Structure 1
Amino acid sequence: MSIFDEPKIDCHNHLFDPAQFPYLANTIYRPAGQEIGTLNQFNRVLDAYGVQHALLVQPTSGYRGDNRLLLSALASSEGRYKGVVVVDHDISLEALAAYQKKGVVGVAFNPATEGLTVMAGAEALLPKLAELGLFAQIQTVGDQLVQLLELIDQSDVRLLIDHCGRPDIEHGLYQPGFQALLRLAERGRATVKISGMQKFAPMDSVFEDTLAYVQALLDAFGPEACVWGSDWPFLRAQQRVDYGPLLKLAEQFMPDAHVRRQVMWETPRRLFGFR
């Protein structure tokens, strides 16, 4: 059995549909052309590759706190999709609970794109997420995570770390940000996404350049605290990226079928409540 026949859940992807859901006027980036990915297009991609479920992530680009497209997709998916939204830090517990009832499992923070200032004031939000059992999904780059550890330790919120922590491959495994990510495994409340390797390594050498990082994360967190994601529709990609080769890349990173089943099926089903 190959990875195309195995059950799979894609835990990092975005929807962009400016024709039906116009972008915010002040968005930091306006996805266009091949970057646009509608719900219908995404459904067809998952069907073609035998992917049963997906975790939709509200993008900073285009929509940020306008979650209408994501919520519409959740409402029509009959449980196929769960979501991660973007909200203001002063959102009420009741409003978060209402999101949760619609299939939302977490809130996204993106210092990698918006800078560390986007976390200012989050100390009021993280305990609310913890109370509801929602995830704080955080995307950092380089050594940003080091500067967020004090904030993270102020609550017992569950953490979901994007894209292997987006290390700088020129600085090796022992760069402070990546080592801080590995130490989060000891806290027992963090999950890491084996995703987005194409964001910090060239596609032509992505396996060779990122294997050591992926293996270190699998060793530290274990398959029961790792999930996989494609990052479809590959916003701001510097080189061509296709869904099928990314699945084969996951198979290379995880040649053991039992590990793949845990990371790509059992763990996300348990963490995010897919039926």
Structure 2
Amino acid sequence: MSILTEPKIDSHCHVLEPSRFPYGETASYRPSGQEMGSAKYFQEVMACYEVKHALLVGPNSGYATDNRCLLDAIACAPEVFKGIAVVPNDISLEALQQFKSQGVIGLAFNPSLMGFDFYSNIEPLLQRLKQLDMWAQFQVENDLLLDFLPMLSRVDVKMMVDHCGRPNLNAGVSQPGFQALLALGREGRAVVKISGFAKFSQVGYPFADTRVFTESLVREFGLKNCVWASDWPYLKAPYRLDYGPMLRTYESMFNADERHQLMWSSAKHHFGF
């Protein structure tokens, strides 16, 4: 069976439809052209590649804490989609419960864009997520993960890390932030998304320079705590990316049984599809 026809769950993708859900006036970045894609169109993409379910992530770009597009997509296809929302750091427990009732299973924190200081006060929010058995999803880069470890050691919230932790390739696998991520894997404290190669590769497709990082993550996390994600529709991509060729990069990295675990079983288990 080809990777293109194996059943899959996409664990990180976005929907952006400003014609129906306009971007906020204060949006610092407004995705356009190839960066946009409606839920309806994304379902056509999914059908082409045997992707049965998807975890939609609210984008900081364009929408920030406006989750209307995300919630509309889930409501229109609740058997297909679940969501990760972007919310104010002081959101109430009751508001979180409402999000959960609408198919949102966690919140996205994006220090790679916003920095640590923006999130320095989120420990009470992490406690609320733990209370509701929801996920805290972090997109860090370089050594940013280190700043969050003290609060994460105090709050045993369900945690996942985007895009292989976005390491600095020049610093190698020994860099402190990446070593901290590997330690979370060894301790069974997190799930990591084996994705986002274009965000940290320096050589481009098929991203050969990311392999040593991917292999380290799979070894320390185990495939049961790794999930695959496309990152469609590739916001701020430095060059053209397409769903099919991006999928092909996994074919030489994992055999069929490993791909079934990474691309199906892990996400099905962790996210309740």
- Structures share fold, TM-score greater than 0.5: yes
Offset, 1:161: 0.2
TM-score normalised per structure 1: 0.96
User: Structure 2, unaligned stretches of length 5 or more?
Assistant: none
Counterpart in 1 of 2:272? 273
Pair 1:7-2:45 in alignment: no
Q: CA deviation at 1:206?
A: 4.0
Alignment pair present for 1:191 and 2:191 = yes
Aligned to 2:52: 52
Shift in Å, 1:78: 3.2
- The offset of 1:56, in angstroms, is 0.1
> How do residues 42-121 of structure 1 correspond to structure 2 at under 5 angstroms?
42-121=42-121
Equivalent position of 2:252 in the other structure:
252
Contact conserved, 2:198 with 2:207, CA < 8 A, in 1? Answer: no
Q: Is the 8 A contact 1:11 1:230 kept in 2?
A: yes
Q: CA RMSD in A?
A: 1.1
Distance in 2 separating the partners of 1:114 and 1:206: 29
TM-score (norm 2): 0.97
Q: Aligned partners of 1:74 and 1:120: how far apart in 2?
A: 30
Please name the residue that 1:149 is paired with: 149
Query: Structure 2 matches for 1:206-225, cutoff 5 A?
Result: 206-225=206-225
Partner Cα separation in structure 2 for residue 215 and residue 32 of structure 1: 34
Deviations 1:58-109 (A, max 9, x none): 0001001100000000001131011000111221212211211211111000
Q: Which amino acid aligns with 2:152?
A: I
Change (3 A) 1:19 1:131: same
**Contact 1:164/1:217 (CA < 8 Å) preserved in 2?**
yes
Question: For structure 1, which segment, 201-210 or 227-236, has the greater mean C-alpha deviation from structure 2 after superposition?
Answer: 201-210
**Which residue is equivalent to 2:262?**
263
4+ aligned runs moved over 4 Å, structure 1: none
Structure having the higher helix fraction is 1
Secondary structure, counterpart of 1:247 in structure 2: helix
Q: SS of the counterpart of 1:136? A: strand
- Does the 8 Å contact 2:218/2:226 carry over to 1? yes
Q: Which residue of 1 aligns with 2:17?
A: 17
Amino acid at match of 2:160: L
Deviation at 1:118, TM superposition (A): 2.1
Farther off after superposition, 190-199 or 144-153: 144-153
Q: Kindly provide the amino acid, as one letter, of the partner of residue 271 in structure 1.
A: H
Structure 1 window deviating more from structure 2 (237-246 vs 199-208): it is: 199-208
Residue 34 of structure 2 aligns to a residue whose secondary structure is helix
1:23 Cα deviation after fit: 0.3
Q: CA deviation at 1:117?
A: 1.7
Unaligned runs of 5+ in 1: none
In 2, the alpha carbon distance for the partners of 1:168 and 1:92 equals: 36
Aligned residues: 273
1:129 aligns with 2:117: no
Q: Please give the per-residue CA displacement for 1:125-175, whole angstroms capped at 9, x wherever unaligned.
A: 001101111110000011111111112112010111000000011111101
Give the drift of 1:122: 0.2
